[in-house]
Amino acid sequence: MPKSIYDRGLLKPGEVAKLQRVFDALCATRGALPDSTEARDIALDILALHHAGMEDETALLDALSFRRERPKAG
C-alpha cells in the first residue's frame, strides 16, 4: 500500500493553518512584517519546534513569545 503524502513528512492542511496562526500572532507581537528577516526567523523557529514534536498551538506560542535581543553593531 502506498504511503500517504502526510506520512512522508508533509503538513496536513490543519497543521498549516495552525502554524500560520502562530506565525501571524508572533509577527504581530514582535511588530515584524511578514516579508522581513525577523519573520523568516520566526517561521524557521516555528517549523523547527513543530518538527521536533511540539504540536500544541499554545505551547508553540509560549515557547516563542520571548523577544530576542538583536546583537548591537560595532
DSSP 35: T
Residue 5's pLDDT band, with cuts at 50, 70 and 90, is low
What's this model's pTM, rounded to 2 decimal places?
0.79
Q: Which long-range contacts (CB under 8 A, 24 or more apart) does 54-59 make?
A: 55/15, 57/18, 57/21, 57/22
Residue 30 lies in a domain: yes
Which residue range forms the structural domain that includes residue 53? 12-64
pLDDT tens digits, residue range 47-59?
999 999 999 999 9
What 3-state DSSP class applies to 7? helix
Kindly state whether residue 72 falls inside one of the protein's structural domains: no
Q: How many domains does the chain have?
A: 1
Over pLDDT 90: what percentage of the chain? 70
Does 1 map to a domain?
A: no
Question: 23 lies in a domain?
Answer: yes
Residue 25 domain-assigned (yes or no): yes
